[in-house]
C-alpha cells in the first residue's frame, strides 16, 4: 500500500526542470477525501513557489495546480481517489 505520495509541480509548465519543486503527502490511515485535501494543499504550496515572478501568475498558478493534482492522483493508483471531483481553491 502506498503510504507516501509525492506531489510535484509540472516543471515543463513553470520553469526549467532543475527548479522543479516536490512535497510528500502521507496517505497512511487517511480517507480518500483527506488525501485529496492534502494533495491540493501540497500542490498549492509547491505551485506558489514555482510561479513566483511569472508573467501571468494567476493563469500559471491555475494551470500548475490542475496539472499537479491530476498527476498526483494518477500517481497514487487509488481508484477511490481518482473518482472524487477535484476541488481546487479559487485563491
Nearest-angstrom CA–CA distance, 57 and 72: 22
Closest CA to 68 of 31, 29, 91, 36: 36
Q: Are 63 and 15 in contact (CB under 8 A)?
A: no
Domain ranges in the chain are 4-83
Nearest-angstrom CA–CA distance, 21 and 7: 8
Tell me the pTM. Answer: 0.73
- pLDDT tens figures, 38-86: 999 998 888 888 888 878 888 888 888 888 888 888 888 888 888 888 7
Q: Which residues contact 41 (CB under 8 A, 6 or more apart)?
A: none
Instruction: Please indicate whether residue 91 or residue 87 has the higher confidence score (pLDDT).
Output: 87
Amino acid at each position: 500500500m502506498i503510504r507516501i505520495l509525492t506531489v510535484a509541480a509540472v516543471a515543463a509548465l513553470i520553469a526549467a526542470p532543475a527548479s522543479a519543486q516536490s512535497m510528500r503527502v502521507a496517505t497512511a490511515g487517511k480517507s480518500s477525501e483527506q488525501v485529496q485535501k492534502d494533495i491540493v494543499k501540497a500542490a498549492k504550496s509547491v505551485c506558489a513557489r514555482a510561479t513566483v515572478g511569472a508573467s501571468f501568475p494567476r493563469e500559471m498558478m491555475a494551470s500548475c495546480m490542475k496539472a499537479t493534482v491530476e498527476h498526483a492522483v494518477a500517481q497514487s493508483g487509488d481508484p477511490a481517489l481518482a473518482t472524487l471531483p477535484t476541488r481546487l481553491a479559487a485563491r
